Amino acid sequence: MKRQLLIYGSGRHTVPFLSYMAWLTAKKTPNICFIPTASGDDEAYIARFYDVCKNIDVQPHVLRVWINSYDQKETFEEIIGTMNAIVVGGGNTLNMLAIWKAQGIDVLLRKAYHKGVVMGGGSAGSLCWTNGGTTDSRPAALSIVKGLSFLDKSHCPHYNSEKSRRPLYHKNILEGKLSDGYACDDRSAIHFVNEEVERSVAMDAENHSYHVYLKDGAIVEDRLASTVLG
């Protein structure tokens, strides 16, 4: 079964990236599920997801974690088990991962990934699939957080929009605190198939994705050739 990830730099919902995720499922009208745990199940964020999905041939769903057993009768396993694609939103990565672990959602996502469900997202929603990166989830300064390691590479979102991200990412790789990995500008994405880069896509010609690694004691930043989505 083909394992697929689509990671991008910003957690904002957009028609191009959600359309691309839907296309990757190879389904006519796929079930696509938004998981907004990192934003505390923010209702405005959820409403934006539904608004964007009106422009795409998909069946939109939302997996909320701020629920109770009196009102929520469908289990997380039942929800995830019927999806063709899952998109994770931005927000507090550290809190999201802790909640997923407590609820067993991390295990369910891994199971779905290996069954061919397309996984993706931006910001916290891209960082979570990798082995780690920098996050603003703690007070005072950006710090390192470990992800689920579906992709055993590090990651840096917001590469072109937050000035501190790029130099800190380079520094952490130089110091061995992070492995080599991939960085995405806000409007750029990388599609992985079986944990290998399949292609880079972007919403415009000004946003890019990069492979960032250490060679002979220095940082190398290879820009990936991108296809601009129509």
Do 87 and 35 form a contact (C-beta atoms < 8 A)?
A: yes
pTM, two decimals, is 0.95
Q: What pLDDT score does 66 carry?
A: 96
The rounded average pLDDT for each run of 10 residues, N- to C-terminus, in the chain (230 residues) is: 96 97 98 98 98 98 95 95 98 96 98 98 98 90 92 97 94 96 98 98 97 97 95
What is the amino acid identity at position 184? Answer: C
**Catalytically active residues, by annotation:** 123, 158
Q: What pLDDT score does 122 carry?
A: 97
Count up the domains in the chain and report the number.
1
Q: What is the CATH number of the domain that holds 57?
A: 3.40.50.880
Q: What pLDDT score does 140 carry?
A: 85
How far, in Å, CA of 164 to CA of 142, rounded? 9
The residue segments making up the domain with residue 175 are 4-228
Angle at 36 between CA 34 and CA 41, to 5 degrees: 125
Q: Give SS3 for 136.
A: coil
Residues 6+ apart with CB under 8 A from 105: 35, 37, 63, 65, 76, 80, 99
Residues 6+ apart with CB under 8 A from 123: 9, 10, 11, 38, 89, 90, 91, 157, 158
Return the half-sphere exposure (C-beta side, CA atoms, 13 A cut-off) of residue 158.
21
